Amino acid sequence: MTPASQTVTRFAPSPTGFLHLGHVYSALFAAGLGDAKNGGRFLLRIEDIDAARARPEFEAAIIEDLAWLGLTWDGPVRRQSDHMDDYRAALDELQSQGLLYSCFCTRKEIRAEIEESGFAPHDIPQSPDGPVYPGTCRAMTDDERRQRRAEGTPFALRLDMEAAIKAVGSLAWTDADQGETAARPEIFGDVVLARKDTPASYHLAVSVDDHLQGVTLVTRGEDLFAATHVHRLLQALLRLDTPSYHHHKLLTADGGERFAKRDKSETIRALREAGKTSAEVREMAGMAP
Ligand code: GLU
């Protein structure tokens, strides 16, 4: 059991490329706040549910690069693809609350539906995950759904956002920068929680994992700030613990652009091969040892 006062943080990279300086900053930021010297714990989680993009060689490289940087983590690494049953159970729970529906729309059909309802391309309501779903399949009858499934049409499971918000009322979380922050999950519309090829979405898996791993402080880049609105809602619906949040600034290259996995030059590997020491790489990420 985690003592009430112990800070538990995590670093949760997706093995879809090599770690770069932005990750060094993020990992060291989390590790510093979950430091054992301050009575904390720091966990590592591999977010590999996107089977089309995740690759075992990137996972191995992540572990090796973090070790080279001198990072250690507490307990075993949690690999999401080993825990699909946990996400399935969460989906079953939401289903039993009547909050999920199958959606058979393709991306193309969603776009066509939105355009038909008269939105000019620059006016299309956007959620942090893309265009807000117009709700086409929400009104389908159970018979229709059964038939589409029997025909083998691929489908996603969407959360009925209006019903979900109604079930739990207004919510908030404690944010390091913004203090008490009201959750506004409605900006996502009927968010996808599972797809045929990715049976648990990022939002679902992260919310379940942070709870199961006893994370008390989620640290991650501010590009994921909006995701916290929907994570807070899932916590309430699934009766999961609510951690505090610290959305940190994103480290940028000298020109101001964000580091990305496709920029080969700033990966930890490339820097290491170019002769940099781990202390120098930490320093480049603004995290001097
Ligand atoms: N797996 C996500 C990423 O690599 C981070 C998720 C999180 O920290 O919540 O961007």
Task: Give the DSSP letter string of 115-127.
Answer: HHTT--GGG--EE
Q: What is the mean pLDDT of residues 45-72?
A: 96
- Amino acid symbol at 167: A
Specify the pairing of strand 41-46 against strand 78-79.
Answer: parallel
CA of residue 267 to ligand 1 center, whole Å: 17
Q: Which atom of ligand 1 has the smallest separation from the CA of 219?
A: 8
User: Which of 187, 184, 185, 190 is CA-nearest to residue 113?
Assistant: 190
State phi, psi for 58 to the nearest 5 degrees.
Answer: -75, -35
Q: What is the per-residue pLDDT across 127-142, written as a single tens digit (0 to 9) for each?
A: 999 999 999 999 999 9
User: Which of 95, 27, 103, 16 is CA-nearest to residue 61?
Assistant: 16
Pocket test for ligand 1, best of 202, 207, 208, 246 (most atoms within 8 A of CB): 202
Q: Which atom of ligand 1 has the smallest separation from the CA of 220?
A: 8
Q: Which atom of ligand 1 has the smallest separation from the CA of 210?
A: 9
State phi, psi for 259 to the nearest 5 degrees.
Answer: -75, 145
Q: Is residue 261 annotated as part of the catalytic site, yes or no?
A: yes
Which residue's alpha carbon is nearest to atom 3 within ligand 1?
13
| From 166, 196, 261, 276, active-site residue | 261
CA of residue 259 to ligand 1 center, whole Å: 14
Least confident among 52-66, 167-181, 240-254: 240-254
pLDDT value, residue 196: 85
Q: What is the per-residue pLDDT across 35-54, written as a single tens digit (0 to 9) for each?
A: 888 889 999 999 999 999 99
| Cα 275 to Cα 175: distance, rounded to the nearest angstrom | 39
pLDDT value, residue 264: 65
| Cα 228 to Cα 234: distance, rounded to the nearest angstrom | 10
116: confidence class by pLDDT, cuts 50, 70, 90: confident
Measured at the alpha carbon of residue 229, what is the angle toward residues 257 and 245, in degrees to the nearest 5? 70
> What is the DSSP-derived secondary structure letter of residue 38?
G
CA of residue 143 to ligand 1 center, whole Å: 38
Q: Which domains does the chain have, with CATH numbers?
A: 1-82+252-289 (3.40.50.620), 83-213+224-241 (3.40.50.620)
pLDDT value, residue 138: 95
For residue 217, give the 3-state DSSP assignment: strand
> What is the DSSP-derived secondary structure letter of residue 20?
B
Query: Which token pair is 104?
Result: 């058979």
User: Which of 112, 116, 115 is CA-nearest to residue 124?
Assistant: 115
Q: What is the mean pLDDT of residues 176-186?
A: 97
CA of residue 220 to ligand 1 center, whole Å: 7
Query: Which token pair is 268?
Result: 């930890």
Which residue's alpha carbon is nearest to atom 6 within ligand 1?
12
| Cα 137 to Cα 105: distance, rounded to the nearest angstrom | 7
Which residue's alpha carbon is nearest to atom 4 within ligand 1?
13
For residue 14, give the 3-state DSSP assignment: coil
Q: Is-contact 261 20, C-beta < 8 A?
A: yes
pLDDT value, residue 95: 97
User: Which of 169, 163, 192 is CA-nearest to residue 182?
Assistant: 169
**Within 6 Å (CB) of ligand 1, which residues are found?**
12-14, 47, 206, 220, 224
| Cα 45 to Cα 13: distance, rounded to the nearest angstrom | 7
User: Which of 111, 89, 93 is CA-nearest to residue 159?
Assistant: 93
Q: What is the pTM of this model?
A: 0.94
| Cα 113 to Cα 205: distance, rounded to the nearest angstrom | 29
Mean pLDDT value across the chain? 93
CA of residue 47 to ligand 1 center, whole Å: 7
